[in-house]
Amino acid sequence: MNVDELWEKRDVGGLIAALSDKDSGVRIGAAGALGEIGDPRAVSAIEKAISDSGEVIRDRAKEALGKIKSSDAYKEYLKKPKITLKFPEETFKANTWKRIEITITNTGSIHAKNVKIEPSSDIEFRRIPTIPQIDADETKTTIIGMKPTVMGDVPIDITITFNDVLDREYTASEEMWLLVAESMSMSESISINEFPPRQEQSEYKYQVALSYAGEDRKYAEGLAGLLKNKKISFFYDKYEQADLWGKNLYQHLQSVYRDKAQYCVVFLSHAYAQKLWTRHELESAQARAFKEHKEYILPVKIDDTEIPGINETIGYIDLKSTSLEEIADMLVKKLSSQNLED
């Protein structure tokens, strides 16, 4: 075996193989060459050579190992990506599709690429993308479809595969638990297309705008929290304070309730009927409804106060007999059916 030729070609694989050659001279030459080349991939083989029967070979291997481990290349070689996942902490329904956001974080010291997520079979997943790259200390989110097929506290075994900048492949495993509640009828199959439309797929900035009197804020805030968990984009003034700061609110709110939402949920009450601002919001929403000739205003009655402009023949939800959770679920279905029609 010609060590000089391997050295000239910088054939690290060939030199590593030469460390096991029967000829001690070849082994000595290979150890020295690997030390000069300084490729970190040779570290494991050189460490074995330190136990060689020949003293000269052992000394040459120690010298080579010292050169490699003191190099910047070796410091970079030691860096590795580390990928962790986080699922939302909420209760899921068996046999029901849900669109969820998962968080992927690289807590390692170099970027990861071609990140693939493979979950266990007790949960059905769709639209799990391969993430091209996640930099060190970077967090990314992605939306996937998930449908549990069993109930209870369900363990999920997840395998994550990814590569680093040197194309070294890594496999990581994570176990997490999801709480899956009562099952719906198996006949009520839900299509993956029934996920709420993503905001970027819509012509509207908001999927839902909330209109309410200040006295009824607790209802609007409760629904806003539920919509946020369901990944529905919405306008709720408390969450928009930075954007509203300094704007002409009369014009801006007119634009929101007339032009920028797919639906407008109106919390009707005695307080709502008395307020100038809610009257302005309702008039803006009515202008949109009159123009489109289809449902846009979705009334939610807090009490039995009659509101000018809201016809009694319009379908409404009574908050005395319907929970905010049920209203949020109905909004998801309404948005999904509208998405299918579009």
Q: What is the pLDDT of residues 152-170, one digit of tens each?
A: 777 888 899 999 987 889 9
**For residue 251, what pLDDT is reported?**
87
Q: To the nearest 10°, the Cα dihedral for 135, 139, 145, 148?
A: 110
Residues in the chain: 342
> Mind listing the pLDDT tens digit for each residue in 319-337?
988 899 999 999 998 888 7
For the stretch 67-105, pLDDT in tens is 999 988 888 888 899 999 888 877 778 888 888 888 999
Tokens of 82: 């580390």
CATH class of 3-78: mainly alpha
**Which pLDDT score, from 0 to 100, does residue 244 have?**
86
Alpha-carbon span 322 to 307, nearest angstrom: 20
pLDDT on residue 338:
65
Prediction pTM value: 0.43
Kindly give the parts of the chain with pLDDT less than 70.
1, 122, 182-202, 313, 338-342
- List phi, psi (to 5°) of 173: -125, 140
Domain 83-192, CATH? 2.60.40.10
Please work out, in degrees rounded to the nearest 5, the angle formed at the alpha carbon of residue 89 by the alpha carbons of 88 and 92.
90
User: Domain segments of the chain: what residues?
Assistant: 3-78, 83-192, 197-341
Domain 197-341, CATH: 3.40.50.10140
CA atoms within 13 A on the CB side of 254: 9
56-59 LR contacts (CB < 8 Å, sep 24+): 56/24, 56/28, 57/24, 57/27, 57/28, 57/31
Q: Can you give the pLDDT at residue 339?
A: 53
